[in-house]
Structure 1
Amino acid sequence: MNLEHALAAAEPELTPLAVVDEERMEANLAAMARIAASAAVKLRPHAKTHKSRYVAGRQLEHGAIGLTCATLREAEVFADAGVEDLLIAHPPVGEPKRRRLAELAGRVRRLAVSIDQVELADGLPDGVEVLWEVDSGMHRMGTAPGVASADAVLELVGRVGPARVRGLLTHGGHAYKAETQEARRRAADEEAQALLETAMLLRRRGFESRTLSVGSTPTADSAGREKGITELRPGTYVYGDANQITLGSQRLEDSALAVIATVVSVHPDRVVVDAGSKSLSSDLRVTRMEGLGIVLGHPSLRLERLSEEHGVLAGEGLDRLGIGRRLAIVPTHACTCVNLQSELLFFSATGTRWRSVDAQGWRAARNPAQRDLLDA
C-alpha cells in the first residue's frame, strides 16, 4: 500500500476509516489471473472478501468465469449486478433458503451449491447444480477423501442424476496453520490430492467429475498447478491482509486494504488509537502472528489488543506518536474487516471514490416480494 497516498486520501475524513489502494488491488487481481492462466484452470474468486459489485466487475474483467459466494445475500447482490455464473459454497439448509435459492436460479445462467450431506439434495430447486465437498485437512465441512467421498457422490448421483452433479470441491483452510513455507506447500498438495484421489475412484466407478475446485489464497499457486484440477476459488488475494503476509503467500507491499486510525491517548507503555474490534478484524487465523494487525511504517509497533472502539499499541517508538497522529493498520483478516464497513474509500493517483460494501449482512431484501419470503 502507498502509505503516503493512503494518509493523504483519508485526511479530510473521520477515523476509523477503511481505505483501498486501487492500483495495488488491480495488481493483485492481475497476479491471480496470471496464476490461473498459467495453470490452465478457471478462476472463480470468492467474493466474500470484498462483497462489492465494483470489485466483482473488476475480477470478471481480469478473466474470472464467475464468482463464489458465502451467502444467499451475496449471490443475490451479484445476480442483480449481472453476474451469470454463481457458486454458493455453503449448504442451503431450511425452507426459507430453498425458496430464495429457487428464485435466484431463475435469474442466472448457472447456479450451484456445495454440500456434504446427501439428504440436502432432496428438494433442491430445478436448475441448481451440486458440488460435493471433500475434507482435505481443515476438518470443518466435507467427507474424507477417497472411498467415503466417492460413495457419497454416487449416492448423490442416484438422487439427482449425473447432469446435476458438477464435481468436487474442497477448501485447504488448514494451510493457515502452516509454520513454514514447506508446510504451506504440503497443505496445498493435500488439498489437490484429496480431490484427485476421489475423482479417480469415481472415474473407475463410472462417474466423471467435470469440476475439481480448490480454494484458498495461500494454496492457489501450488494446488492449482496439479494436473486435473480445473478451478481456483481464492478470496483474500484481492486486498491481502496480515494473515497472508505472515504466511508468506503475499508480501507487505501487496497490501491493498488498511484501516486509518487516529492516536487518541498516549502513555509511557502504550498508545491508544480510535480503531477497535468494530473496525478492525481480530480474526487470528495464523498462529505465529504477533499482534492484531500490521502498523504500516512502524515495524516495531504491535497492536496488542482491541476493545470495541479502542486499539492498544505497544513496542518501540511510542514516544514519537503524539495525539492526533494518523496510522494505517493492515488488518489480520481482510474478509472480516470489510464486513464491518458499509463503505470503503478507494484511492489512486487520479483521486478518491467511496464504494459500497454492497453484500453486507444476510437478511436485506432485493425487493418487497423477497421481503415476504424472508418474513415467511
Structure 2
Amino acid sequence: MAAEALARLAEERVDHRFKGLPPDAAGRTVGELAAERRNLFTGGFATPVLALSAERLEHNLRLMETYAERHGLAFAPHGKTSMAPQLFRRQIEHGAWGITLAVPHQVWVAREFGVRRVFLANELVDAAALRRLAAELAADPGFRFVCYVDSVRGVELMDAALDGAARPVDVVVELAAGDGARTGVRTEAGCAAVADAVAASRSLRLVGVAGYEGEVPQATGERVRAWLRRLTALAAAFDEAGRFDDVEEIVVSAGGSAWFDTVAEVFAELPALSRPVLKLLRSGAYVSHDDGHYRRLTPFNRVPEEGALEPAFRLWAQVVSRPSPDQGFLNAGKRDAAHDLDLPVAQVVRRDGVERPAAGVEVTGLSDQHTWLRTDPEADLEVGDWVGLGLSHPCTSFDKWQLIPVAEADGTVVDYVRTYF
C-alpha cells in the first residue's frame, strides 16, 4: 500500500498548481518529467524556483542516521518540517523509528503513505480526530501512535471521545520547558496529577514522558541540560512509582534541531529503569538544514568532530528591475521565501551559464512578490541575471512549494518532492 501510494505521486499531472516548473511540461506526469532529467538552468524552468540539492540531502540523511546510532538514540524526525512523504520514506530508510507530527491532518498524510509509527508532539483533544485515530489503530495492529498529554482536562476529553475504542491510545506526559514556555505541565506535581488521570481513564495508556528543550527560556547549554535532567528524573520517578508496569518499553523523548547534542548527553546519563527505554530524538530541520537560523545553532558547531550538516535549499530568482546603481529587485517574495526568522541571503549570481559569488549584493527586505536588494558599487548585477538565495528555517520553506525539483550539482533535475501542507 505504501509503495503504491508513493508510486502514485509520479502519476500526478504537472499543471498550474506547481510553481517554477517548465511551462511546456504541463500535462506530463511528474514521473515523465523526472525521466527527462532536465537541467534546472537550461531546461525551461521559470523563476522563481526552489530546488533541493540531491547530494546535500543524501549527506544530511546519512549524517543524522549515524549520529543517532552512535549515541544510542531512536529517531523520529519532525515531519512537519517538510510534510513530504518521499522524504518520510527516505528518513525511515535511513533508520528513523518513525515520524513526529503536530496536528491530525499531518497524521492522515503520513498514514496515507504507509508510515507505521507516529509521535504526535501535541495533546490531541479533537473528538472527530480521536475517533478516526481509534479506527486507524483498530484496523492496523502494526500502527503505533504516541501523543502528548499535558492536562487533566485533556485526558478527560480524550477518554470521552475514545470510549469503546478497541485499542488504548499511548500517551506521554509533557513536561513544560519552564514558566512562560509553550505547552506542557509546569511542575512535577502537575505531571503526577496528569499521570493519575491517565491511570484512571479507560482508553489511554501512559508509556513515558517527553518535552521540547527548544522552548527553555533564554536557552543556554546549562539551562537546557538542567531541564533535560528534570525530564529524565521524572521518567525515573514515574517508573519507581510503578506507573509503567503495564508497558513493554518506556518512552523518553525530546530533541529539536538546536540542542540535540545536549539531549544525547543527558539521555546517556539515564539510569537503568524497570523496562527498556526508547530514547527518542525528534530533530527535523536537519533534512534540508538551512543558511540562517539552524546553521548558526546546529549542535555540530559545538561538536565539529561529529560532522556537519549542509544547507540543501537554494531559491533561484531573477533580477527584474535595476532602478539605480545601489538597488535591485528580484521576482521572488514572501510567497516564495522563508522570512519568519531571517531574510534570504544572496549567494551566487548566474549569467550566460557562468556562476559567481554575489559580491556586493545584500537582501534588505521582502515584499509579497519582490526581493529588495542593496548593491555596492562593485556589484555586477543586470536585469535578467539569476540570483541564488540561501534560506533560513526549513519549516517555512517547504510549505510554500508543493512540488520541489531535486537537482544534482550540475543542475540535472533527478526527482521532484511533493509536499502536503
Q: Into which bin does the TM-score normalised by the smaller protein fall?
A: 0.7 to 0.9
Residue identity in the other structure for 1:218: A
Secondary structure in 2 matching 1:224: helix
Task: Show the counterpart of 2:321.
Answer: 265
Residue identity in the other structure for 2:196: L
Offset of residue 332 of structure 1: 1.8
Task: Show the counterpart of 1:344.
Answer: 404
Selected match of 2:233 from 192, 197, 200 = 197
What percent identity do the matched residue pairs reach?
A: 24
Alpha-carbon spacing, 1:247–1:315, altered in 2? closer, same or farther (3 Å): farther
Task: Show the counterpart of 1:151.
Answer: 193
Secondary structure in 1 matching 2:379: helix
1:165-210 deviations in Å (ceiling 9; x for gaps): 12111112237965xxxx2x33541452231122233234332481
- Report the Cα distance in structure 1 between the residues aligned to 2:228 and 2:60, rounded to whole angstroms: 23
Residue identity in the other structure for 1:264: V
Selected match of 1:334 from 388, 394, 399 = 394
Task: Show the counterpart of 1:213.
Answer: 253
Alpha-carbon spacing, 1:270–1:101, altered in 2? closer, same or farther (3 Å): farther
Task: Show the counterpart of 2:25.
Answer: none
Contact in 1 for aligned 2:53/2:408 (Cα 8 Å): yes
Selected match of 2:73 from 41, 51, 58 = 41
Selected match of 1:77 from 102, 109, 122 = 109
- Report the Cα distance in structure 2 between the residues aligned to 1:76 and 1:194, rounded to whole angstroms: 33
Structure with max Cα Rg = 2
Task: Show the counterpart of 1:293.
Answer: 344
Alpha-carbon spacing, 1:87–1:258, altered in 2? closer, same or farther (3 Å): same
Alpha-carbon spacing, 1:256–1:177, altered in 2? closer, same or farther (3 Å): farther
Alpha-carbon spacing, 1:67–1:259, altered in 2? closer, same or farther (3 Å): same
Task: Show the counterpart of 2:418.
Answer: 357
Offset of residue 354 of structure 1: 4.4
Q: Structure 2 length normalisation: TM-score?
A: 0.74
Selected match of 1:166 from 201, 207, 215 = 207
The equivalences for 1:1-376 within 5 A come to 9-11=40-42, 12-105=44-137, 106-107=139-140, 109-121=143-155, 122-123=159-160, 125=162, 126=165, 127=167, 128-137=169-178, 139-160=181-202, 164-174=205-215, 183=220, 185-208=221-244, 210-226=250-266, 227=268, 228=270, 230-241=279-290, 242-249=292-299, 254-266=310-322, 267-284=324-341, 291-296=342-347, 297-298=357-358, 301-314=361-374, 316=376, 319-348=379-408, 351-360=412-421
Alpha-carbon spacing, 1:145–1:199, altered in 2? closer, same or farther (3 Å): farther
Deviates more, 1:142-151 or 1:43-52: 142-151
- Report the Cα distance in structure 2 between the residues aligned to 1:299 and 1:154, rounded to whole angstroms: 61
Alpha-carbon spacing, 1:91–1:301, altered in 2? closer, same or farther (3 Å): farther
- Report the Cα distance in structure 1 between the residues aligned to 2:328 and 2:288, rounded to whole angstroms: 27
Secondary structure in 2 matching 1:245: helix
Deviates more, 1:48-57 or 1:317-326: 317-326
Alpha-carbon spacing, 1:197–1:230, altered in 2? closer, same or farther (3 Å): same
Contact in 1 for aligned 2:293/2:392 (Cα 8 Å): yes
For structure 2, the 5+ residue unaligned runs are 1-37, 271-277, 302-307, 348-356
Alpha-carbon spacing, 1:23–1:36, altered in 2? closer, same or farther (3 Å): same
- Report the Cα distance in structure 1 between the residues aligned to 2:52 and 2:217, rounded to whole angstroms: 24
Secondary structure in 2 matching 1:143: coil
Offset of residue 347 of structure 1: 1.2
For structure 1, the 5+ residue unaligned runs are 1-6, 285-290, 361-376
Task: Show the counterpart of 1:372.
Answer: none
Contact in 2 for aligned 1:136/1:190 (Cα 8 Å): no
- Report the Cα distance in structure 1 between the residues aligned to 2:195 and 2:79, rounded to whole angstroms: 27
- Report the Cα distance in structure 2 between the residues aligned to 1:303 and 1:240, rounded to whole angstroms: 20
- Report the Cα distance in structure 2 between the residues aligned to 1:340 and 1:174, rounded to whole angstroms: 25
Alpha-carbon spacing, 1:147–1:28, altered in 2? closer, same or farther (3 Å): same
Offset of residue 314 of structure 1: 2.2
Offset of residue 74 of structure 1: 2.0
- Report the Cα distance in structure 2 between the residues aligned to 1:260 and 1:140, rounded to whole angstroms: 35
Residue identity in the other structure for 2:402: S
Offset of residue 76 of structure 1: 1.5
Secondary structure in 2 matching 1:141: coil
